[in-house]
Amino acid sequence: MTGVPGGILDGVRVLELAQNAAIPHCGRLLAGLGADVVKVEPPDGDAMRGLAQLGPNESKAYAVINPGKRSIAVDLGAPEAGEILDALFRWADVAIVAFKGPDLARFGIGWDHARTVNPRLVHLTHTPFGPEGPDADQGGYDALVQGRSGVGFVMNRSAGGVPQPTRPAVNDFGTGMLSAFAVLAGLRHRDRTGEGQRIDTSLLGTAISLGTAVLGRFEATDPEVLDQFADDLAAMRAAGVDFDTQREAYEDRVQAGQGAFRLYFRHYRTADGLISVAGLSAGLFAKFHEVTGLPDVDRSDHTAPAFQAVVDAAEELFTTRTTAEWIAVLREAGYPCSPYHLPYEALDDEQVRANDFVVDLDHPVFGRYTTTGMPVRFEKAPSGVAGPSPTLAADTAEVLVEAGLTAERVAELAAAGVVVDGSGARS
């Protein structure tokens, strides 16, 4: 068994049919709440096992995405796979599935089939672009929906004059969180009605939701501005203007409140590194000017020379003290601020450690590693990371016997190459 003992989902059995990041992150979170999460991998393992490898079938990418689970390996294309999947559907309370639409029917893992085996099953179906529309059956990854959602235009960095995909893959891991939320709602519905159901999540839906603050159109004010900007953007692109200039023009002319983001809500270079500051109210604006001694300025026109002069002065001023010195004076005044870390520095941040936002785990193959913990805490029940990522197929025999197959039948399936029994890899 996996999952955190005594967690809110203790006793809930989750079948994970997914690779890469989005839905495996959902499984990770459910395991952190106590669920027993069984990950079904192909015989050669999840694709993440091949990224940043630490040895055969082990990698950094897989280890950080999949702690606290059990692993079984099944050839879904084998004729005997249906027997195994049906047993697992009967065993499970929840199935979290991330396959292209045509493959759901091909492998017999979609809700239409699963419901005939277990009508109480909560079946989450994940697709890149959503279950309806012309691209419903297309495969896809985070980078595609960054561009398609429009949110990438705001958040992507650039190189060579074109945007580069944002890392970490915010839509993958955001989808994992939204999917875990959806599973909990599905379980609540089943508790009330006794019925299972299909739940749909998607990368594109996540991207659009994460873009709430920058995606919107108001008919009273926006059409004329947007029409004019579209014409100017076409001209810029025809002239070969680089991406950063295009985005700056968009922010200056279309996005509201850019003055605050240019001066009060941003990162500054300091004498020894970087600092993040974040104030978005009139009271905090006043505190910023009080601490820095910089003159207040009309924020309604952030393109005006007078506003830019104050921004330039602020950038110069922040380089005169260290990050720690600025944090001390800003916090004394009550202005929100924080250090700006490199990724490896964040792992040792005192605040991060105090809340178990990162944890240290011991893996039987490659030893100790640090990864993210649970982002939520409950007063009445534990949450956390139950253990390291599983070795490939370490739990095949154990899980399939729990699901109702005999040990002899599991041995036959392993001999036929339908499943992989990697229990000998555990130590």
- 29, 176 contact by CB (below 8 A): yes
Closest C-alpha among 227, 247, 218, 236 to residue 154:
247
CA-based end-to-end distance of the chain: 16
Pick the CATH number of 256-344 from 1.10.10.10, 3.10.20.600, 3.30.110.30, 3.30.1540.10: 3.30.1540.10
Rounded mean pLDDT, 99-106:
92
Interhelix angle for 323-333 vs 282-292, to 10°?
Answer: 130
Domain ranges for the chain, please list them.
13-209+355-425, 217-254, 256-344
Q: What is the token pair recorded at 418?
A: 């339908």
pLDDT tens for each residue of 240-271: 999 999 988 988 888 767 778 889 999 999 99
Q: What is the token pair recorded at 101?
A: 């639409």
Alpha carbon of 369 to those of 61, 132, 256: distances in Å?
Answer: 12, 41, 43
pLDDT tens for each residue of 61-75: 999 999 999 999 999
Domains 13-209+355-425 and 256-344 share a fold: no
pLDDT tens for each residue of 311-329: 999 999 999 999 999 999 9
Q: What is the token pair recorded at 337?
A: 């601020």
> What is the reported pLDDT for 282?
92
> What is the reported pLDDT for 427?
36
pLDDT > 90 in the chain, percent: 88
DSSP tally for the chain: helices H, then strands E: 19, 16
Model confidence, pTM: 0.93
Mean pLDDT of the chain: 94
> What is the reported pLDDT for 256?
67
- We find that the CATH architecture of domain 13-209+355-425 is 3-Layer(aba) Sandwich (3.40)
pLDDT > 70 in the chain, percent: 98
Alpha helices in 132-267 (DSSP H): 142-148, 152-155, 170-193, 203-210, 222-238, 243-253, 258-263
Q: What is the token pair recorded at 31?
A: 């395991």
Alpha carbon of 14 to those of 11, 180, 262: distances in Å?
Answer: 10, 11, 46
The conformational region for residue 33 under phi > 0 = left, psi -120 to 50 = alpha, else beta, is alpha
> What is the reported pLDDT for 423?
85
- pLDDT-derived band at 426, boundaries 50, 70, 90: very low
Rounded mean pLDDT, 127-140:
94
pLDDT at 59 over 60: yes
Closest C-alpha among 390, 71, 3, 21 to residue 179:
21
